[in-house]
Amino acid sequence: MNPPPPESTSLRALLTPERWREIGRIIIVSLLTLLYWRGLLPQPVLYGAIALGLYPLVKTGLRDLIHERKIGTEIFVTVATTIAMIGGEYVAGAVLMTIILIAEFIADLNTDRARASIKALVGSVPQTALIRTNGQERSVPLTELKIGDIVLVRAGEKIPVDGTVTGGQGAVNEASITGESLPQEKVVDGSVLAGTVVESGALDIRTDKLGKDTMFARIIALVEGAEELQAPVQKLADKVAAWLIPAVFVFLLGVYLVTHDLRKIVTLLIFTSPAELGLATPLVMIAAIARAARAGILVKGGIYLELLAKADVMVFDKTGTLTVGQPVVVGIYPDAAYVSEEELLKLAAASDRRSGHPLAKAVVTRAQEMGLSVSEPTAFEMVQGRGVKATVDGKSVLVGNAEFLSENSIAIPVLSYSPTGTTIYVAVDGAPVGTLDLADQIRPGAKEAIGRLKATGVKQVIMLTGDNSKIAQRVGTELGIDEVKAGLLPEDKVNAIVALQQAGHSVAMIGDGVNDAPALARAQVGIAMGARGTQAALEAADVALMTDDLAKIVFARALARRAYRTIQENLYVGVGVVHVLGITAALLGWIGPVQAAMIHLGPDILVFLNSVKLLRVRIEA
């Protein structure tokens, strides 16, 4: 769990000069209304107080009406206050307007506070940096830093740039970016990110990226822009509000024609305002996006939260997503008549040590892990798509695939085991002496994550991969995948997703954000794994995970479903039930305008509290 938002999101920080003017206006209007009610001021003064209070409402209402073609609470309150004045309900009209001013002030302040929490949850970057030039250390503003400058960061300080460690070592808390609570050890050549904290040690960092180019800045830009992409339920609420307004006026006209009671019309105007419809969704989305950012999950808009909540098919890429993406030696099978296991591995590793191929690196790594002494080859040749030829301790060694042996007139041995991945053959002086079995390892927690996703209502989990069918089926069976499609090109993955969509499914695609970019873009929701250092991944996906932790997909899904449920609660309970009860009470004459205005605060507060709880409440993933 990360620390609570810092002081920047406190009430004091949000009380700008404009906010203080609003507070002053409310106090003046309230005081003048009270004095008039006590008979201490003449009626013209009350007219002035009402005009002072109505000014910001009329201004905002007309602006929304002209520029956005939207009738909001401001117009409703203006009409209600005017009708109250016409009907001689002077105090009721003034009190109604004052209470609505207070409600609007609280709602706006709380919305701004929720927005401000986004930056606070992600963190902040220091505005100065300690740099070393010509052996001298000096503090400079961040705006004066240049690419290549060496920045010094000590324990307890935040890193101001994206860069590479050139000296020192330390433990860095990257929770503000990745959501991981455990500090990461950083040594020379390690990468660090702006906004993270050096918890212990000290680092010399070469500046690689500055300002808006840092990962931190891109995260802030993405999260701040997320609010602009409305969820379908939010668009629906706006549409409902648009057609509800004329229906309300027709309803009120009908009530007046029957009752001829202006006081009742004012009361009904308060409860038929569509204001809470506009508040019910945005606050939830802001809170959910901020909560996701705190966990190292970047959601680019409320629309993707809703689509993720509704997804009934999850499609995974295999390599680098469900698997680690790095092959390892899982089996060593020597021909006992020629070599032992250790001798076979030493020969293969010595031949492969000059190769940069992932399979060759895996062989060398396994030899190092076993503490074997690996010789330097005296001759080395790499054959593209086949393997390597090398001379090791005076022996001619071939390490590669079956085709490589055939092309060198070497008999391919019959395997005594069932391969789990890629088979590498080793031959010495023209004779096969053994094989190595290499496979990509399943990512830790993958099986558990898939099981938990199914428990959240995902009907089908599918794996799409370019790998061969045998390997893909093994991984799919081990993980409990419902359907495996192997040997696919990028366009084949897109076609598979289109087929699912045409069958009526809502599809979420999870991949690496680069190789799977077309499929990510085609799915209803594209989720990129491990976007920590990849700008392409941030741009390709709708949701980006800053680490390769599959549990974060489960958390994102659970958060999205919780957010969608909270919106429904806001609409049905916070708006629907309260307003229906209020309209009923008004029609029966149980309450008047003043009581209605006070009750009207209830849905605003209820919707706000229900929405912002997403910042703190436990999400059952």
- State the pLDDT at residue 107: 65
For the chain, how long is the longest CA-to-CA vector? 114
- Burial label for 117, CB within 10 Å (0-12, 13-18, 19+), is buried
3-state secondary structure (DSSP) of residue 298: strand
Taking the CA atoms of 84, 85, 87 and 88 in sequence, report the sign of the dihedral they define: positive
Cα atoms in the 13 Å half-sphere on the side-chain side of 403? 5
Give yes or no for residue 259 having a pLDDT over 50: yes
Give the residue ranges of DSSP H helices in 272-372: 275-280, 282-294, 302-310, 341-352, 358-369
- Laid out side by side, the sheet with 379-383 consists of 323-334, 431-442, 422-428, 395-400, 387-392, 379-383
pLDDT digits 0-9 by tens, 329-383: 989 999 877 889 999 999 999 999 888 888 889 999 999 999 998 888 989 998 8
Give yes or no for residue 223 having a pLDDT over 70: no
CA distance 609 to 88: 36
CA distance 362 to 439: 10
Residue scoring higher pLDDT (357 or 538): 357
Structure token digits, residue 261: 């009671």
Write the secondary structure of 208-249 as one string of H (helix), E (strand) and C (coil). Answer: EECHHHCHHHHHHHHHHHHCCCCCHHHHHHHHHHHHHHHHHH
Give yes or no for residue 462 having a pLDDT over 60: yes
Taking the CA atoms of 575, 577, 582 and 588 in sequence, report the sign of the dihedral they define: positive
CA distance 613 to 290: 12
Q: Among residues 587, 617, 582, 619, which one has the least CA distance to residue 601?
A: 582
Residue 327 has φ and ψ, to the nearest 5°, of -70, 150
Mean pLDDT of the chain: 83
Least confident of 3-12, 13-22, 430-439: 3-12
Write the secondary structure of 476-489 as one string of H (helix), E (strand) and C (coil). Answer: HHHHCCCEEECCCC
The residue whose two tokens read 């895996």 is: 362
Q: Strands (DSSP E) along 481-555, which ranges? A: 483-485, 507-511, 525-528, 543-545
Give yes or no for residue 5 having a pLDDT over 60: no
pLDDT digits 0-9 by tens, 396-424: 999 999 989 999 999 999 888 888 778 99
Amino acid, res. 115: R
Give yes or no for residue 29 having a pLDDT over 50: yes
Q: Strands (DSSP E) along 112-223, which ranges? A: 128-133, 136-141, 150-154, 162-173, 184-186, 191-192, 197-209
Residue scoring higher pLDDT (177 or 432): 432
Catalytic residues: 317
Q: Strands (DSSP E) along 430-524, which ranges? A: 431-442, 460-464, 483-485, 507-511
CA distance 506 to 309: 10
pLDDT digits 0-9 by tens, 281-319: 777 888 888 888 888 888 887 788 889 999 999 999 888
pLDDT band at 58 (very low <50, low <70, confident <90, very high): confident
Residue scoring higher pLDDT (362 or 243): 362
- What does the pLDDT average to over 590-603? 77
Indicate the DSSP class of residue 29.
H
Q: How many residues does the chain have?
A: 621
CA distance 90 to 79: 14
**Percentage of the residues of the chain whose pLDDT score is greater than 70:** 84
Give yes or no for residue 434 having a pLDDT over 60: yes
Angle (deg, nearest 10), helices 551-569 and 302-310: 100
Taking the CA atoms of 594, 596, 597 and 599 in sequence, report the sign of the dihedral they define: positive
Cα atoms in the 13 Å half-sphere on the side-chain side of 62? 6
- Burial label for 225, CB within 10 Å (0-12, 13-18, 19+), is exposed
Which of 6-20, 52-66, 393-407 has the highest mean predicted lDDT (pLDDT)? 393-407
3-state secondary structure (DSSP) of residue 137: strand
Amino acid, res. 233: V
